[in-house]
Structures are given as structure tokens and as C-alpha cells.
Chains A and B, each alone.
Chain A
Amino acid sequence: MKKIRLYYEEHNKGPMKLLWQHFAPQHFAFFGLIALLVLVSLALITPVLTPHDPYLQNSQLLLLAPSWQESGLVSYPLGTDDLGRDLMSRLMLGTSYTFGLAILAVLGSLLIGLILGCLSGMSKGVKSSIFNHLLDLALTIPSLLLAIVIVAVLGPGLINTIWAIMLALLPQFVHGIRNAIMQQLKLDYVTAYRLDGANNRQLLFSVILPNIWEQLVLMGTMALSTAVLDIAALGFLGIGAQSPTPEWGSMIADSLDAIYLAPWTVALPGLLIFTTVLAINLVGDGLRVAMKKRREN
């Protein structure tokens, strides 16, 4: 039954609710969100879920075709790779490597970027200017180059490339956060708080940060797609995740020799990377559109 309204009252929905209202009708973005949630849960609980041991080599079942083909087996839904390891289990575990580590990298980088961005956003003058120019320099160095340097210093490995990716993402976060803070500082309500006697610290924590966190989320999603692509690319080049690790990019590199015999061992990990990145980008775009619509209304 519809609630009877006795008095005229204005219903002001919260900003989050408004955002959701504009986000949910975008079907593709909504599907992207569902896909992302599935991926996140997969990344968290996958070690318990895998039907077979992802590292177990079964010499009886080398390059088994996926189960929809004549020669496939139902118990190996996506077939096996050239060492007889179950592809589905490996792909599932790969979620926590490629996608899960990308999330961690973005979060870590975002945190450091937040601290540096706040420091530079609230400061003025020469110090800020020098910092800014250094950032511009760091922004232009290609991420792969940074990864190459770090790998050369620390040696190849998944964790070392995570450091590289965090470092490569950092400048854009600092830049973005700094710009967002500068933008907020110009607004009237911040001036009002300042006139009320709020000091810089109070201004930052109780006024500015609550108003820019949505922009942070947006920056995070954009960076997440870069991080996934970078982790996979470095794994593919052999300077990231090393061979037995079921990271999607390194799985493609491992299966390259069998591309004629078993094209699915190359196609499936790539398809997963593509789906993941597409889902992230769909959500990011949807979020941006929703924020724009909310501002306009």
C-alpha cells in the first residue's frame, strides 16, 4: 500500500542513493558490476572452489579438449594444458593472481597517492611547484620501462612487478587527488568553513575528503583496468609471474607453443583478461555517466 503523505515534505535522497538511481538503469554498467562482484568473490574464495589441483600434472591427459568437443571429458570442463593440468582450476586461481593482486596494487597505490596528494594539495608556493614538475616527469615514464628497471634491480617475479605497477600508478593518483583538492579549495563552502575557524587539518578530513572520495573511486576503477592489463602483459613477457603460477598472462605465454594443437589454452586466459578489463571499464564509464547526470539534475 502506498504510504499516505499527510504533510507536504521534501524528499532529499542521499547522494549515494542518487548515484545508484542513475547507475542502475545503465544495463551494461550493471552487468559489469555483477561480473566484477563475481570476480572479486572468485578471487577471494577460489582456493576452496577449484575442482582439481591447479598444479597437479596428469601425464595421461595432455592437451585434453574442452568438454563441449567430442574428445573432451565432463570432469575437465575447459580441458587441460600441455602438462595435463586442469585449465578451469588454473583459470579460477588466476583470478586471485591477476585480478586480486591488481586490486591490492591499486589500493596500496591509492593510499600512498592520497597521502602525497593531500600534502601537495594543501601546500603552496615553490615546494608545490617543484613537486608538480617532478610528478609531470614521473607521469611520462612508460609503466613497462619502470617495471623493467625494477625487475632488473630486484629480479623477476610477480611481487616485484606489483611494486613496479604501484609505482607506475602513483603519479596519476597524486596528480588527480591534488587537482581534486585544489578544485574543492576554490569552492565557497570551503571558504565558509575556513571563516568559521577550521584549520587545514579539519578542512581536509571533515570537509574536502568526504566530497572527493567518489572521484577517488572513479580514479581507482580506471587504474584497476591498467593494473590488470599491466600484470598480464608483464606475465606474458616473462618478467612478471613465473611459469607454474597460473597468472593469466603467463598462462598465455606458456601455451604459445601449443597454439596450433590447442588454441583454447591461449584463447581462454585472454578472454578472461578481456572480460575482466571490459567489466571494469563498463563500471567506470557507468559511474562517470551517473555522476555527470546527478550533477546536472
Chain B
Amino acid sequence: MMLHYLLRRLFLLAFVFVALTIFAFSLNYLFPGDVLSNFTGLRYISPEQETALRRILGLDQSYLQQYIYFVRRILDGQWALSFSSQQNVLTEILLVMPATLELASYALLLSMLLGIPLGILAAVRKDKWLDKLISALALVGYSLPVFWWALLLIMLFSLTLGLLPTSGRLSLLYEIDHVTGFMLVDILLSDVSYQQAALKDAIRHLLLPAVVLATYPTTVMIRFTRDSMVEVLEQNYIKTARAKGLTRLQVLFTHGLRNALLPVTRQIGLQFSALITLAMITEVIFSWPGIGRWLIDSIYQRNFPAIQGGVLAVSCLVIVVNMLTEILHTLFNPLARRF
């Protein structure tokens, strides 16, 4: 049964991938500029080169044939070259993607650690002052424009108090080899004499962006956990458990949490796309060398192959994460299994 479900998901994933690549393929024609240079990323194409390239790309054949060639190149890792650096876009993406993932995962972790307990607290104390306080804070955080919030925090912690750095991932004093791309992991893997100092510095750099980025998902988590918990606590089985003589804490942990957190796991996947959008803005403000800043820079430089590749990579990432959380949700929740 589960296998059947997984196969169906896999089929859907393949379908989504086809749709995405068709979209990316059509961008070659939609972007302004020469189609040939959009496809290859070459800035200067001599006439002899042009005929050869046209044959390789299949530009003299039907769109379908061109699309098949395009997908084959994508799968082989032969993506177009970036206009600005004349490097393969895929290698560039793989270089900047870990920074974004690192930032986003810490923010997500932070939001779960803060949001879920606060949401539960608010639900247990429903309509008391604590609930009102938490809900009000959540609403304020939910309404904050992320770039303004980042600027306010920079003004306070970096410019006025001088406590935290404003940009980058690591002070230029330290040199850490690029192994996984995740800064903290790389530092722990490296065996340099200043490991401790570098780690401290990296965490100081990480703190502000992670807090800024975590604000929105935390508030979403609070609101969602609270609503779901309130609903669960009104169910009859909770009353039954209470009537059987369990204490409030016992009921909360053994009967309440399990049921209330199920929809929350699903929410994590749904929020991932918003998280990536916010991460991109946060990266621009904090000069974080991730895919968001890279993409925005590509816009300024009118670097079409980079935009195309970046959009393809980020959407694939978001969709895969979405699908994974959905599969996990189905695994945990028998009620969601409709085969």
C-alpha cells in the first residue's frame, strides 16, 4: 500500500520536473537577447561557432527535439555558462546553495524550538493574558516586513551597540577550506589552530540573519500550533482521558501533542517556499553569499542563464522538500493515507 503511494508521489515528482524543465526551456525564448547565447551562455559567438552550436543544440530542428536536447544537457550537468563569470551555472549554484540551506535550516530549527512550545503554552492558557500576549506578539511578528526588521536590528545591535557584525558569514581573518559549504561543519572539520575563534566568529555572523529569518516562520508556527492544539483539546477523547484521572500534563503530552503536532509537520513543508523567499531578501541585506543574493545580482547584471538555472534549482529544491514533508506526514498520520 505504502509502495503504491510512494510510486504515485514519484510519478508526480517526475511530472513536476517535466513541467519545470518545459518552463525553464521556454525562458530561453522569452528572455530578451539572442536565443543562442541564452541557451549556451556564451557572450561572443563567432559565425563558425554559431553553425556548429546550432547543430549541437538542435536549433534547426523542432521545439520538441530542442527540448529533449535541453533536458539531456540538464541531466548531464552541462548547464549554460553564466554571462558574468563564464562558468557553468550548476557549479556556481552548488557553491552558493549550501549557504542558503545553512541559514534556512537554522532559522527553521529556531522557529520550531521557539514556536511550538509557545503555541502550546498559548493553547493551554487559552483566552488568559498569556495567550493574548503570545498571540499579539505572533501577530506583530507576522506583520513585520522582513527587510525593515533586519535594518532595525542592524541599527540596534550593530551600529548602536556594536555587538554583532552586519555582513558576511565569517570574518576575513579566518580562512576555512570549502568542504561541504556549511560554514559551521566546515570549521569543525578543519584542523586549524584558530578553530575555536573561527567558530565563535561564524556564530556571531549567523546570529542576526538567523533571528531575522526565523521571525516569520516562528509566528506562523505559534499561530498554527495554537489553533491546532486548541482544536485537539476540545475533542472528546481528551475529556475521556481527563475523566479517567490523568493529570493535565499527562493528557497534554500523551494525547494532545501527538495529534496537534501532525498538521504542524505538514505546515513546515508548506512554509518552506515562503522561507526561501524571505531567505533571499535576508541574504541581500546581510551580504550572505547564498543563492538569493546570487539571483538578485544576476537580475541586476541581466545574467539570463544564471536566472534560468537558479530558478530551476530553487524550485526543484522547494518541491522536493515539499514532497518529502508530505510523505513524512502521511507516514506519521494514518488518517492522511487515502490510497
Contacts and interface: CB of A to CB of B under 8 A. Distances in A.
B210 interface: no
B273 A141 contact: yes
Given A148-B299, A151-B299, A281-B139, A249 B144 contact: no
Given A148-B295, A225-B143, A252-B148, A140 B12 contact: no
Given A145-B277, A153-B30, 19 more contacts: A133-B12, A137-B19, A142-B277, A142-B318, A144-B277, A145-B311, A148-B296, A149-B27, A151-B299, A152-B27, A152-B307, A225-B143, A229-B145, A239-B296, A252-B148, A259-B159, A266-B148, A267-B152, A274-B143
Interface of B: 12, 15-16, 19-20, 27, 30-32, 139-140, 142-148, 151-152, 155, 159, 273-274, 276-277, 280-281, 284, 295-296, 299-300, 302, 304, 307, 311, 314-315, 318-319, 322
A270 interface: yes
Contact of B280 (A144, A238, A282): A144
A285 B299 contact: no
A133 B15 contact: yes
A282 B139 contact: yes
A207 interface: no
Contacts of A252: 147-148, 151
Given A152-B307, A263-B155, A142 B273 contact: yes
B155 A259 contact: yes
Contacts of B147: 232-233, 236, 249, 252
A153 B31 CA distance: 5
B19 to A, nearest CB: 6
A144 B140 CA distance: 22
A260 interface: yes
B27 A233 contact: no
Nearest to A236: B147
A277 interface: yes
Contacts of A260: 159
> Most B CB atoms within 10 A — which of A237, A249, A267, A282?
A237
Which residue, A133, A145, A236, A249, has most C-beta atoms of chain B within 10 A? Answer: A145
A134 to B, nearest CB: 7
Interface in A189-212: none
Interface of A: 133-134, 137, 139-145, 148-149, 151-153, 155-156, 225, 229, 232-233, 236-239, 249, 252, 256, 259-260, 263, 266-267, 270, 273-274, 277-278, 280-282, 285
Contacts of B144: 274, 277
User: What is the interface of chain B mostly: helix, strand, loop, or mixed?
Assistant: helix
Nearest to A239: B299
Given A140-B273, A142-B273, A239-B299, A266 B145 contact: no
A30 B267 CA distance: 29
B256 to A, nearest CB: 21
A157 B16 CA distance: 30
B318 A141 contact: yes
B271 to A, nearest CB: 11
Contacts of B296: 148, 237, 239
B155 A137 contact: no
A282 B299 CA distance: 35
18 contacts: A140-B315, A140-B318, A140-B322, A142-B274, A148-B295, A148-B296, A148-B299, A152-B302, A153-B27, A229-B146, A252-B147, A252-B151, A259-B159, A263-B155, A267-B152, A270-B145, A274-B143, A278-B139
Contact of A270 (B31, B151, B299): B151
Nearest to A150: B30
B315 A153 contact: no
A269 to B, nearest CB: 8
A273 B148 contact: yes
Nearest to A149: B311
Contact of B143 (A134, A236, A277): A277
Contact of A134 (B19, B145, B155, B315): B19
A256 B19 CA distance: 40
Contacts of A266: 148, 151
Nearest to B304: A152
B30 to A, nearest CB: 5
A143 B319 contact: no
Contacts of A137: 16, 19-20, 319
A266 to B, nearest CB: 6
A236 B148 CA distance: 9
A144 B302 CA distance: 16
A237 B31 contact: no
Contact of B315 (A145, A236, A270, A274): A145
A155 B299 CA distance: 9
Contacts of A277: 143-145
B12 A274 contact: no
A152 B276 CA distance: 19
A152 B31 contact: yes
A137 B19 CA distance: 9
Contact of A144 (B30, B143, B148, B281): B281
